């Protein structure tokens, strides 16, 4: 089976497992796990932030950041197709008492002008805007990279209105490699950022939140409240350190494989991939002209040996990752031929 459902399906390499086994550990709830502390210091330096805090998942990372930035009754501006709006179980409302105000950006990236239009006036009739959230790369838009120039404009807008700006950077690693822009250059324009180690970097679990020291103190409280206080978790933090040090630069291979897959898919009648949107490791294929729904076609592909994810009624998502080599992508052509003639 060629598994292109997600870059989360990777398993630790033998070298990563050995690195994990050798990790020095302590009680992280007491801030005494040296490997966790090393990871947090590494990411704080990489992002140019005062501090960072290790969390179990990307969703928890985003939600503790939301809780730390807002108060109940406030509103969070985000993209309509963002992860925080679509894939985090309504947690902003459930856990922070904040409501989301989604706007439809281009390729998942709202412009500063769009955001400016929906910032609430200071009037007791309205909920008050409390936070702006961006996503880079953008999952539902197909791994597109948020233009840095636009982030700078949004950052200036947020500063003008005294609003915090959070970046869901689960796949910021991919954006950095594809754009040749450092992590720090991306993150200097936002107040906080979450990054995921268990996607393209291939760690088995883990995300991290970085920001100012006082902000991280609040995040630490909410992490504990959400059940994210972990003990001898340096074994997992070690996998994340190994992933950053060994799997970061190789993401370019995933991007090349994604572009190759997009080209292959476009060779089949009824399938359309917008190639300019294949900027990193995600390929979104429109299959509306095949005469089958995404669910139907994905099921047929799975039976033929290619796993993918229906991403709407007529769209299928394919994600390349470190377990997928160029030869696997070439094999996809023969698999698809069995389904689409």
Dihedral sign of CA atoms 7, 140, 93, 132 in order: positive
Confidence of residue 180 (pLDDT cuts 50, 70, 90): very high
Per-residue pLDDT, averaged over 205-223, amounts to 97
Cβ contacts of 83 within 8 Å, gap of 6 or more: 58, 62, 135, 139, 140, 168, 170
What digits encode the pLDDT tens for the residues 127-149?
A: 999 999 999 999 999 999 999 99
Confidence of residue 340 (pLDDT cuts 50, 70, 90): confident
Asked if 185 and 179 count as a contact pair (C-beta separation under 8 A), the reply is: no
Q: 250-339 has which fold?
A: 3.90.1150
309-310/2-3 β-pairing: unpaired
Q: Rounded to an integer, what distance in angstroms lies between the CA atom of residue 220 and that of residue 208?
A: 11
How confident is the model at residue 162, as a pLDDT? 97
Q: Which residues is 106 bridged to in the sheet?
A: 109
Percent of the chain with pLDDT over 70: 100
Per-residue pLDDT, averaged over 144-158, amounts to 98
Percent of the chain with pLDDT over 90: 99
Show the tokens assigned to 164. Answer: 């915090």
Asked if 118 and 101 count as a contact pair (C-beta separation under 8 A), the reply is: yes
Domain 14-247 CATH class label? alpha beta
Global confidence as pTM: 0.95
Q: Rounded to an integer, what distance in angstroms lies between the CA atom of residue 111 and that of residue 151?
A: 8
Q: What is the DSSP letter of 92?
A: I
What digits encode the pLDDT tens for the residues 251-309?
A: 999 999 999 999 999 999 999 999 999 999 999 999 999 999 999 999 999 999 999 99
Domain ranges within the chain, ordered by starting residue: 14-247, 250-339
Give alpha helix (H) positions in 48-91: 58-69, 83-86, 91
């Amino acid at each position: 089976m060629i598994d292109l459902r997600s870059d989360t399906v990777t398993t630790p390499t033998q070298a990563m497992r050995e690195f994990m086994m050798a990790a020095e550990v302590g009680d992280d709830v007491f801030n005494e796990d040296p490997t966790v502390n090393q990871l947090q210091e590494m990411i704080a330096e990489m992002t140019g932030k005062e501090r960072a805090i290790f969390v179990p998942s990307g969703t928890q990372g985003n939600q503790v950041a939301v809780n730390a930035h807002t108060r109940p009754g406030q509103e969070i501006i985000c993209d309509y197709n963002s992860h925080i709006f679509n894939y985090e179980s309504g947690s902003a409302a459930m856990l922070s008492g904040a409501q989301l105000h989604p706007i439809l950006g281009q390729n998942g990236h709202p412009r500063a002008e769009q955001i400016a239009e929906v910032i609430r006036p200071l009037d007791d009739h309205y909920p008050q805007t409390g936070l702006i959230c961006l996503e880079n790369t953008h999952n539902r838009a197909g791994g597109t990279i948020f233009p840095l120039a636009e982030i700078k404009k949004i950052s200036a807008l947020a500063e003008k209105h005294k609003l915090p700006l959070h970046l869901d950077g689960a796949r910021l690693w991919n954006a950095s490699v594809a754009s040749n822009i450092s992590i720090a250059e991306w993150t200097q324009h936002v107040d906080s950022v979450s990054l995921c180690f268990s996607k393209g970097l291939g760690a088995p679990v883990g995300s991290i939140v970085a920001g100012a020291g006082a902000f991280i103190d609040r995040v630490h409280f909410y992490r504990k409240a959400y059940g994210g206080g972990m003990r001898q978790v340096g074994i997992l933090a070690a996998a994340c350190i190994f992933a950053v040090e060994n799997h970061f630069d190789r993401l370019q291979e995933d991007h090349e494989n994604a572009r190759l897959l997009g080209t292959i898919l476009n060779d089949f009648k009824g399938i359309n991939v917008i190639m300019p949107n294949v900027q990193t490791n995600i390929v979104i294929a429109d299959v509306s002209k095949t005469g089958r729904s995404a669910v139907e076609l994905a099921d047929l592909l799975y039976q033929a040996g290619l796993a993918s994810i229906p991403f709407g009624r007529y769209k299928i998502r394919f994600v390349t990752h470190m377990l997928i080599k160029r030869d696997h992508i070439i094999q996809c052509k023969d698999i698809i031929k069995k389904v689409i003639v």
